[in-house]
Amino acid sequence: MADLTDLVALARRHGTYDVEAYAFVGEGLRHASKHLGRDAAEGSDRHLDAPELVDGVLDLATARFGLLARQVLRSWGLRRSEDVGAITFHLIDDGIFGKRAEDSLDDFSDGVDFDTALLEKARTRVSRALS
């Protein structure tokens, strides 16, 4: 992942999302990769598809921010899967992330409802903690 200086410049250039959103999508990618067991894989075996990346971002947000995840993500401009896709493709365009030839921004269209997914993930985490 790029250093913070690069991400600040990227966020300023695009002007839509906070720099924290760019950093968090990168963290979400690493989180999902590790969770899915792809962090040790090589080449294209490491690749995540759009739903896996979005799920990783939402899972990490819930783990880190709990019931405040929705508000934190919204404060950075992340409200839906398409926002994660836009950031992902900004990072791809800057050479920070890679992609397969068949990957498209459209892969992030019609993704999960963030509010519903975050609430469900929070409920699951609370249930596990109480068990």
Query: If 0-12 CB within 10 Å is exposed, 13-18 middle and 19+ buried, where does residue 83 land?
Result: buried
Full domain range(s) for residue 94: 4-130
DSSP 76: T
| Cα gap 109→22, rounded to integer Å | 19
Q: Work out the angle at residue 69's Cα, subtended by the Cα atoms of residues 76 and 88, and round it to the nearest 5 degrees.
A: 45
Whole-structure pTM value: 0.91
Residue 39, pLDDT score = 79
Written as tens digits, the pLDDT of the chain (131 aa) is 556 668 899 999 999 999 999 999 999 999 999 999 887 777 667 789 999 999 999 999 999 999 899 999 999 999 999 999 999 999 999 988 888 899 999 999 988 999 999 999 999 988 888 98
Q: Are 27 and 59 in contact (CB under 8 A)?
A: no
Residue 1, pLDDT score = 54
Tell me if residue 36 falls in helix, strand or coil: coil
Residue 4, pLDDT score = 61
As for how many domains the chain has, the answer is: 1
